Amino acid sequence: MTPPLPTDRAGVLAHRTHHLADGREAVFFGDRGRPPVEHVVDRRPLDARSGGGELRFDRLTGEWVAVAAHRQARTHLPPADRCPLCPSVGGRESEIPAEDFDVVVLENRFPSLGPELAELPDPDRVGERSLWGVPFPAAGRCEVVVFTPEHQGSFASLPPGRARTVVEAWAQRTAALSALQGIRHVFPFENRGEQIGVTLHHPHGQIYAYPYPAPHAARLAARSRAHLERTGRDLMGEVLADETAAGERMVLQGEHFSAFVPYAARWPLEVHLVPHRQVPDLAALTGTERDELAVVHQDLLRRVDRLYSTPTPYIAAWHQTPVTAADREAGRLHLQLTSPRRAEDKLKFLAGSEAAMGAFINDVTAEQTAARLREAAR
């Protein structure tokens, strides 16, 4: 019988928060039956925390834009013996001051947002024109989720128990970040592959906690609220039911989650992984749902990697609702997995129509992609 997850008094997965030499938090999680790292000491002579970015309001679109010039100096594709996400062993000190660990979530050393926390002004209340020419501190939080101490591999290659720990870390950090001052939207994601723009090879993901709903999340939330008010049903739940009934774009179906290629897919490879129950974010999933999520997420990524002879670059984006009560009631958590790879040796680039107008043109039908992913099951 599998032993229960170690938990704290609140029933949350056991984790321990330590601090790095410059004051950043590092939260250590243990695999099932294993306590997280208990003691760490970061002896590096680090400079003061970087940050100091700014937010500028775009009056034409009504969107906030982050400017993070300090990130130009961030680490870029270092060799394995200088990887900042590997354990600190053999006298080499990394971002993780421990010789071994399971999963670690640490504040980004080169954050796009934060480390300050603050409430942004509401453009509708103060007037959009008053925000022009007045930059605001880039409040928020950026974290790095380190999946494993191993330098090689990917989320798909993690042992099943480790993948489950990562899911638990996403859920715990979603709850913790959502409770911080001024945070309006929490976005966990993973970039894989140099073609996507990764700057570290070590298997990892990130979490952005925005002081505003990100533009795509805001648009989806508005449509979801309107749909719920008009029909009494959540929009993503209705889409899932329709795709399940149609069948031709379904990729996999579990007890708690199903995956399908969306009817109007924008990318040559795009899949949505959706819970059968209406939940606003990862933190709202039950333990049983998290168990299955770890399995089906790995299954989906392995199918993607079987499509070609070399690993496929992708973005695994967790769409969680903004933290407001109305959005949490109307929206539904889902994963959007996308890749620009349209053939073995071809990538789709965002050219004029997509980059300038946001009008996507796909080279592959959703039905073709779904059929290939079904065939890639083993």
CA distance 204 to 313: 14
Tokens 């990729």, residue located: 251
Is the overall model pTM greater than 0.85, yes or no? yes
Catalytic hit among 18, 204, 272, 276:
204
- Residue 204 annotated as catalytic: yes
Q: Which helix (H) or strand (E) holds 125?
A: helix 123-126
Closest by Cα among 35, 216, 164, 200 to 208: 216
Domains belonging to the chain, first-starting first, are: 15-212 (3.30.428.10), 217-375 (3.30.428.10)
Angle 191-103-288 (CA atoms, 0-180°, nearest 5)? 90
pLDDT at 13: 55
Element (H, E) at 296: helix 287-306
Quick one: which H or E segment has residue 250? Answer: strand 250-253
Separation of alpha carbons 59 and 57, rounded Å: 6
Note the pLDDT of residue 236. 98
The answer to whether residues 307 and 269 touch, using CB atoms and an 8 Å cutoff, is yes
DSSP calls for 148-210: -S-SS--GGGS-HHHHHHHHHHHHHHHHHHHTSTT--EEEEEEEESTTTT-S--SSEEEEEEE
Residue ranges for the chain with pLDDT beneath 70: 1-13
Count CA within 13 A, CB hemisphere, residue 160: 8
Question: What six digits make up the tokens of 99?
Answer: 């010789």
User: Which pLDDT score is estimated for 1?
Assistant: 32
Give the pair of three-digit tokens for residue 54.
């700014």
